[in-house]
Structure 1
Amino acid sequence: MNTEPILVIGAGGQVGASVVEQLVAAGAKVRASARNPEKLSVPAGVEVVRADVLSPETLPAALAGVRKVFLYALPQGIADFLDAARAAGVEQIVLLSSQTVVDAFPEQKPITEMHRAVEEAIAGSGIAYTFLRPHNFATNILMWGWPESIRTEGRVRFPYPGSHSDAIHEKDIAAVAVKALTEPGHEGQAYFLSGPESVTQRRQLEIIGEVIGRELVFEELTDAEARRALEPIVPIWVMDAVVGYWEHSDGVPSHLSDTVERITGRPARTFAEWAADHAAEFTG
């Protein structure tokens, strides 16, 4: 194992936090960063620093002595980040990107362009890269207000109950990232990551109910009702992208990949395993 620290940008995120934990478990030296590092909760022995790709002055100190970096896709500031990474002698970037760069519906174009811009900048930087391309995060339902609605009402109000998802556990994305950061042979690769099953939104709710031991109700919203409910939560372009995806995937099983098992040696976690890991969020 290298003695240089591996820098995890965005260590407060669901995936970033798991990358930190799994790197520590693998015996790696870890430097965790965030815009507000005082809010980070990390394992003992992890160095904590401030790094913000939108604030270039924070990058040299965060990158000092670093050879490998885990990075979220953010087009703003990527040029400054890559300049700082080259100056610091960074040798590999593992990027959390998106499968929408190669497989997207028209409504997802802004998401596609955002991730593609970052991938292209990194590919042209001269720094070795590994692109991780999940499609649907299991954690997305946390963003849509499911936990509070389940806790307080025993129901969710949502559109397209038959919309399929290849929902992947954040721990599996992180596990592949850790392999790419700690083992050779992943340079220049782009990996499509998915969960092991195509599961509808209605079935996701049923699984959560089975895990927490409570019968839950799916109250279907129309497209227009869903957009009104989402408007205060996300920008219009995000709303268009996600509602468009739900519409196109209604009744259409998701494509799946075996990449998690092939890279890590263990099957990808099911949605039921994800729900069990997050049960406290649905029960209070």
Structure 2
Amino acid sequence: MTILVTGATGTVGRHLVHHLLVRDQKVRALTRDPATTNLPEGVEVIAGDLTDARTLSAAFDGVTAAHLINFGGDYRLLANGQQIVDLALQAGVRKVTILNGWQEGTLEPAVRAGALEWTFLNPVQFMANFVTDWGEPLRTTGVVREPYGDRKSPPIHESDIAAVAAVALTQDGHHGQSYHLTGPEVLTARDMIRIIGEATGRDLRFEELTPDQARREWGAPGRRPNLSLFRAFTQTPGVSEGDLVEILIRMYGTPNDFATTLTDNVEKITGRPPHTFAEWAAEHVDQFK
């Protein structure tokens, strides 16, 4: 059978392509620009954009299962979920996995209401996010300056998310499941800086800011964190960057039981424990040097 992978060049999608090839599956990869796609030999690459249903008919043709994401290339939630589901059903797609962003959009309710066999993947913080968040300051100064250094999360390796998707797409028994996916350990921001330091052999430090210090630092030109992804996921297009900073500081400082609760779903579904943050850091040392 042919399995369609949307977001195939993204953080999770590229790992999913690998996991499916290892399982001897035929893979079709959806991308907006096939000319710039670097995927393994044997993968069928097709042009298309999830935000534009008119480009998806050929992508779904002959596909029996598909991995979908609930956001487009700008990380905003899809507005055309029902159209995507209708096209998939018309093409004969039988099952789908949905990688969720921070909130539900139009895709999830359309999938639930239709005839597709579905599995929702709800990961917590991606380990890959720390390259985006901390890569530049650690490379240039060796220091991350943020509030709430003892905030906790059980970050997950993006390959583990993909491994769960590969099982759900190729095996039965996962229809109607919504899997909360975590890594194997709850870590603080300080813990993760220490682990990255051990992997790189560098003296890396976390310097804690008070909320007021963070407001002042992040309000200065060139000093605020990258808020474009955060803005997209929080669906706040009209909110100023100053307000986004406030939201981010409040989020860092507010305990979230759901986001810090470990699950064993990765091991139950894949048959192996999830990767540790130390393993991930060892794979990405070049991005922190």
- What TM-score do the two structures reach when normalised by structure 2? 0.85
Counterpart code for 1:55:
D
Matched, 1:168 2:174: no
Deviation at 1:38, TM superposition (A): 2.0
Counterpart code for 1:87:
Q
Counterpart code for 1:29:
K
**Residues 1:31 and 1:250: Cα distance change in structure 2 (over 3 Å):** closer
Distance 1:116 1:261 in 2: 28
Aligned with residue 135 of structure 1, among 121, 124, 129:
124
In structure 2, the partner of 1:102 is none
**Residues 1:231 and 1:132: Cα distance change in structure 2 (over 3 Å):** closer
Aligned-pair identity (%)? 40
Counterpart code for 1:22:
H
Which deviates more, 64-73 or 155-164? 155-164
Distance 2:141 2:173 in 1: 49
**Residues 1:206 and 1:250: Cα distance change in structure 2 (over 3 Å):** farther
Which deviates more, 223-232 or 70-79? 223-232
Distance 1:73 1:252 in 2: 20
Counterpart code for 1:173:
I
Deviation at 1:148, TM superposition (A): 1.4
**Residues 1:225 and 1:29: Cα distance change in structure 2 (over 3 Å):** farther
Q: Is the 8 A contact 1:155 1:218 kept in 2?
A: yes
Q: Is the 8 A contact 2:131 2:288 kept in 1?
A: no
Counterpart code for 1:73:
N
In structure 2, the partner of 1:103 is none
Deviation at 1:47, TM superposition (A): 0.4
Deviation at 1:189, TM superposition (A): 1.1
Matched, 1:70 2:85: no
In structure 1, the partner of 2:225 is 230
Q: Is the 8 A contact 1:139 1:169 kept in 2?
A: yes
**Structure 1: where are the runs of 5+ without partners?**
99-110
Distance 2:7 2:228 in 1: 21
Deviation at 1:251, TM superposition (A): 11
Deviation at 1:275, TM superposition (A): 0.8
**Structure 2: where are the runs of 5+ without partners?**
72-77, 236-243
In structure 2, the partner of 1:108 is none
Deviation at 1:171, TM superposition (A): 0.6
Deviation at 1:255, TM superposition (A): 0.5
Aligned with residue 266 of structure 1, among 268, 272, 278:
272
Aligned with residue 84 of structure 1, among 71, 84, 87:
87
Q: Is the 8 A contact 2:124 2:259 kept in 1?
A: no
Aligned with residue 248 of structure 1, among 251, 254, 270:
254
Deviation at 1:116, TM superposition (A): 5.4
Distance 2:30 2:11 in 1: 14
Deviation at 1:245, TM superposition (A): 2.8
SS of the residue corresponding to residue 12 of structure 2 reads helix
Counterpart code for 1:51:
G
Query: Deviations along 1:61-99, whole A, 9 cap, x unmatched?
Result: 11110010001113322122112111111111101125x
In structure 2, the partner of 1:190 is 178
In structure 2, the partner of 1:40 is 37
- What TM-score do the two structures reach when normalised by structure 1? 0.87
Distance 1:34 1:170 in 2: 19
Distance 2:258 2:31 in 1: 38
Aligned with residue 192 of structure 2, among 180, 184, 204:
204
Distance 1:35 1:174 in 2: 21
Distance 2:165 2:44 in 1: 19
Q: Is the 8 A contact 2:97 2:168 kept in 1?
A: yes
Q: Is the 8 A contact 1:21 1:42 kept in 2?
A: no
Which deviates more, 213-222 or 88-97? 213-222
**Residues 1:226 and 1:89: Cα distance change in structure 2 (over 3 Å):** farther
- Mapping 1:47-126, distance limit 5 Å: 47-74=44-71, 75-97=78-100, 111-112=102-103, 115=104, 117-126=106-115
SS of the residue corresponding to residue 69 of structure 1 reads strand
Deviation at 1:226, TM superposition (A): 6.5
